[in-house]
Protein backbone atom coordinates (compact mmCIF):
# COMPACT_ATOMS: atom_id res chain seq x y z
CA UNK A 1 0.00 0.00 0.00
CA UNK A 2 1.20 3.44 -0.78
CA UNK A 3 -0.27 6.26 1.27
CA UNK A 4 0.24 9.97 1.10
CA UNK A 5 -0.99 12.27 3.85
CA UNK A 6 -3.10 14.42 1.52
CA UNK A 7 -4.71 11.76 -0.64
CA UNK A 8 -5.20 8.88 1.77
CA UNK A 9 -8.77 7.88 2.55
CA UNK A 10 -7.41 6.11 5.60
CA UNK A 11 -6.59 7.43 9.03
CA UNK A 12 -3.05 6.45 9.97
CA UNK A 13 -2.37 5.54 13.59
CA UNK A 14 1.28 5.90 14.62
CA UNK A 15 2.07 4.05 17.84
CA UNK A 16 4.99 3.02 20.02
CA UNK A 17 5.84 -0.40 18.58
CA UNK A 18 7.58 -1.72 21.70
CA UNK A 19 4.85 -0.69 24.18
CA UNK A 20 2.54 -3.51 25.29
CA UNK A 21 -0.29 -1.05 26.02
CA UNK A 22 0.06 0.48 22.55
CA UNK A 23 0.16 -2.92 20.83
CA UNK A 24 -2.96 -3.97 22.74
CA UNK A 25 -4.68 -0.73 21.75
CA UNK A 26 -3.85 -1.34 18.08
CA UNK A 27 -5.43 -4.81 18.23
CA UNK A 28 -8.47 -3.29 19.94
CA UNK A 29 -8.74 -0.63 17.22
CA UNK A 30 -8.52 -3.29 14.50
CA UNK A 31 -11.21 -5.42 16.16
CA UNK A 32 -13.57 -2.46 16.53
CA UNK A 33 -12.99 -0.70 13.20
CA UNK A 34 -15.58 -2.40 10.96
CA UNK A 35 -15.01 0.01 8.05
CA UNK A 36 -11.35 -0.98 7.98
CA UNK A 37 -10.40 2.65 7.39
CA UNK A 38 -7.61 2.76 9.96
CA UNK A 39 -4.10 1.67 9.08
CA UNK A 40 -1.15 1.46 11.44
CA UNK A 41 2.57 2.18 11.58
CA UNK A 42 4.95 2.05 14.49
CA UNK A 43 6.75 5.26 15.34
CA UNK A 44 9.97 3.27 14.94
CA UNK A 45 9.19 2.36 11.31
CA UNK A 46 10.38 3.63 7.97
CA UNK A 47 6.74 4.57 7.24
CA UNK A 48 6.81 6.98 10.20
CA UNK A 49 10.04 8.46 8.91
CA UNK A 50 8.61 8.83 5.41
CA UNK A 51 5.27 10.32 6.47
CA UNK A 52 6.27 12.29 9.56
CA UNK A 53 9.79 13.32 8.62
CA UNK A 54 11.38 11.27 11.39
CA UNK A 55 11.08 8.02 13.21
CA UNK A 56 11.63 7.23 16.85
CA UNK A 57 15.12 5.90 17.36
CA UNK A 58 15.97 2.90 19.51
CA UNK A 59 16.12 3.97 23.15
CA UNK A 60 14.02 7.10 22.55
CA UNK A 61 10.63 6.94 24.28
CA UNK A 62 7.79 8.23 22.12
CA UNK A 63 5.58 10.55 24.15
CA UNK A 64 2.42 10.32 22.11
CA UNK A 65 0.24 8.33 19.81
CA UNK A 66 -0.19 10.24 16.58
CA UNK A 67 -3.12 10.14 14.17
CA UNK A 68 -2.88 11.44 10.63
CA UNK A 69 -6.25 12.12 9.03
CA UNK A 70 -6.92 14.14 5.88
CA UNK A 71 -3.49 15.73 6.09
CA UNK A 72 -3.87 16.84 9.73
CA UNK A 73 -1.67 15.33 12.43
CA UNK A 74 -3.29 14.91 15.85
CA UNK A 75 -1.49 13.91 19.04
CA UNK A 76 -2.18 12.71 22.56
CA UNK A 77 -5.83 12.77 23.72
CA UNK A 78 -7.05 14.43 20.51
CA UNK A 79 -5.52 11.59 18.49
CA UNK A 80 -7.15 8.93 20.68
CA UNK A 81 -10.58 10.56 20.51
CA UNK A 82 -10.38 10.97 16.73
CA UNK A 83 -9.40 7.30 16.44
CA UNK A 84 -12.38 6.40 18.66
CA UNK A 85 -14.65 8.21 16.20
CA UNK A 86 -13.75 5.49 13.65
CA UNK A 87 -14.68 2.62 15.96
CA UNK A 88 -17.97 0.78 16.34
CA UNK A 89 -20.56 1.57 19.00
CA UNK A 90 -20.16 2.08 21.94
CA UNK A 91 -16.48 3.02 21.49
CA UNK A 92 -17.20 5.79 18.99
CA UNK A 93 -19.31 7.55 21.61
CA UNK A 94 -16.11 8.47 23.48
CA UNK A 95 -15.67 11.20 20.87
CA UNK A 96 -18.03 13.34 22.98
CA UNK A 97 -15.20 13.67 25.54
CA UNK A 98 -13.86 16.44 23.31
CA UNK A 99 -16.10 18.75 25.33
CA UNK A 100 -13.47 18.64 28.08
CA UNK A 101 -10.58 21.07 27.63
CA UNK A 102 -7.62 19.54 25.85
CA UNK A 103 -5.21 20.45 28.67
CA UNK A 104 -7.29 18.31 31.09
CA UNK A 105 -7.51 15.40 28.67
CA UNK A 106 -3.79 15.60 27.97
CA UNK A 107 -3.01 15.71 31.70
CA UNK A 108 -4.62 12.27 32.07
CA UNK A 109 -3.05 11.07 28.81
CA UNK A 110 0.43 12.17 29.95
CA UNK A 111 0.12 10.32 33.29
CA UNK A 112 -0.72 7.08 31.51
CA UNK A 113 1.93 7.61 28.81
CA UNK A 114 4.63 8.34 31.38
CA UNK A 115 3.91 5.10 33.27
CA UNK A 116 2.92 2.76 30.44
CA UNK A 117 6.15 0.73 30.40
CA UNK A 118 6.07 0.28 34.18
CA UNK A 119 2.37 -0.66 34.26
CA UNK A 120 2.09 -2.69 31.05
CA UNK A 121 5.68 -3.58 30.10
CA UNK A 122 7.49 -3.36 26.80
CA UNK A 123 9.09 -5.64 24.26
CA UNK A 124 12.56 -5.53 22.72
CA UNK A 125 11.27 -5.16 19.16
CA UNK A 126 8.17 -4.05 17.32
CA UNK A 127 5.80 -6.98 16.84
CA UNK A 128 5.16 -8.19 13.33
CA UNK A 129 1.54 -8.31 12.24
CA UNK A 130 0.00 -11.68 11.50
CA UNK A 131 -0.48 -12.50 7.81
CA UNK A 132 -4.22 -11.79 8.17
CA UNK A 133 -3.53 -8.28 9.53
CA UNK A 134 -0.54 -7.39 7.36
CA UNK A 135 -2.60 -5.26 4.95
CA UNK A 136 -3.59 -2.94 7.82
CA UNK A 137 0.05 -1.99 8.54
CA UNK A 138 2.29 0.28 6.52
CA UNK A 139 5.72 -1.13 5.60
CA UNK A 140 4.43 -4.69 5.90
Q: What are phi and psi of 51, to 5 degrees?
A: -90, -30
Distance CA 117, CA 114 (A): 8
CB 15 within 8 A of CB 40: yes
User: pTM score, two decimals?
Assistant: 0.82
- As to burial, measured by CB atoms within 10 angstroms (0-12 exposed, 13-18 middle, 19+ buried), residue 42 is buried
Neighbouring C-beta atoms of residue 8, cutoff 10 Å:
18
Least confident of 36-45, 51-60, 125-134: 51-60
Residue range 62-120, pLDDT digits in tens: 667 899 999 899 999 999 999 999 999 999 999 999 999 999 999 999 999 989 988 98
Proportion of the chain above pLDDT 90, given as a percent: 48
Report domain extents, the chain: 11-130
Q: What is the pLDDT of residue 122?
A: 83
DSSP structure class, residue 27: H
Least confident of 12-21, 32-41, 52-61, 73-82: 52-61
Nearest to 24 by CA among 99, 122, 111, 100: 122
- What would the DSSP string read from start to end of 81-134? HHHHTTSPTTGGGGGGGGGS-HHHHHHHHHHHHHHHHHHH-B-SSPPPPPTTTG
Average pLDDT, the chain: 84
135 has pLDDT over 50: yes
Distance CA 120, CA 105 (A): 21
Proportion of the chain above pLDDT 70, given as a percent: 83
Amino acid sequence: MSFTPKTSEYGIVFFDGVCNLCNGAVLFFIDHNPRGNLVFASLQSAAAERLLGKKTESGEIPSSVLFLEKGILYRKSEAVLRIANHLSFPWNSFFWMRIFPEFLRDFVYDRIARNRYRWFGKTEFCRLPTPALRSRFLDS
